[in-house]
Amino acid sequence: MRDADSFDEFYRDTSARMLRYGYALTGDLAEAQDVVQEAYTRAWRHWRTVAAHPTPEGWLRLTVSRLATDRWRRLSGWRAAVRRAGPPEPVGPPSEDAVWLTAALRRLPAPVRQAVALHYLFDLPVAAISAETGAPVGTVTSRLSRGRTELAAMLTPASRTPEVKNAE
């Protein structure tokens, strides 16, 4: 049971922020729940390997980001039909600010979105993002700069009003 205990502790410690990460990448909380649960399921199957990984949480993040790829997401609706055994649907409607951010994040290319999410949600420095994503430091710096600039433009109050009307 030692494995189970250590996994449960890891799960307790990391799953909340992993769900935030999945939410930022997918833009949909229910989909994020599926992706995150699947990632932890795989982590448990290979727990000894994952636990021995230099950064188990990085292993999870990488799995989450890959599960959230476009190929997966295209078919998420079909998969959702059989997620009866999964977690319950999110409670209540999303907050307006969260909707704005997820909408803005969706407009960023996936690698930029990933870099921005790693920076803002995990406070990872450029070097760590580079190591985790396999992209050169310069590329990560460029992605973060672009992400910040485009998000700032999309999140300004002046730019919100017409898009809210369009979105609704």
Partner 1 sequence: MPNEIERSFDALSADTERGLLLSGPELRHQAARRHSRRVAVTVSAAAVLVVAAIGTGWAMAGDGQPSVLPPAASGPGTPSGSAYLGGPVTSAPVPSSAPTTTPPTTTPSSTPPTSRPPAIPKSIPARALLSDADAGISDVAPVEDPFRQLEFCSKAKFPSEDKVGVRSTVRMFYRGPESEPSSVPDDSVRNTVTVYRGDGAESYLAELRKAVQACPTGKTGDSEAEFDSLGSLGVGDESILIDRSYEARDDAGEPMNNGSRNHTYIAAIRVGDAVTLVDGQGYEGWGASRADFTKQLAGRAATRLGDWRG
Give which of 38, 46, 39 is closest to 83, Cα–Cα.
Answer: 38
DSSP 3: H
Contacts (Cβ under 8 Å, ≥6 apart) of 150? 104, 107, 108, 112
Query: How many residues bind partner 1, per CB under 8 A?
Result: 64
Distance in Å, CB of 11 to partner 1, minimum: 4
The answer to whether the beta carbons of residues 80 and 34 sit under 8 Å apart is yes
Contact with partner 1 (CB under 8 A) among 26, 57, 102, 129 = 102
Contact with partner 1 (CB under 8 A) among 12, 54, 161, 162 = 12
Asked whether position 161 contacts partner 1 by CB under 8 A, the answer is no
Closer residue to partner 1 (CB): 12 or 165? 12
> Any idea which residue has 């999110």 for tokens?
90
Stretch that binds partner 1, among 64-72, 107-115, 135-143 (CB under 8 A): 64-72
Helix H segments across the chain? 2-26, 29-45, 47-52, 56-67, 70-74, 76-80, 96-106, 110-122, 126-133, 137-155, 157-167
Asked whether position 45 contacts partner 1 by CB under 8 A, the answer is yes
Asked whether position 84 contacts partner 1 by CB under 8 A, the answer is yes
Contacts (Cβ under 8 Å, ≥6 apart) of 147? 108, 112, 113, 115, 116
Asked whether position 110 contacts partner 1 by CB under 8 A, the answer is no
Asked whether position 51 contacts partner 1 by CB under 8 A, the answer is no
Kindly list the residues in this chain that would bind partner 1 in the complex (CB under 8 A).
4, 7-8, 11-12, 15-17, 19-20, 23-24, 29-30, 32-33, 36-38, 40-42, 44-46, 59, 62-63, 66-67, 69, 71-72, 74-76, 78-79, 81-82, 84-88, 90-92, 94-95, 97-98, 100-102, 104, 120-121, 134, 148, 151-152, 155-156
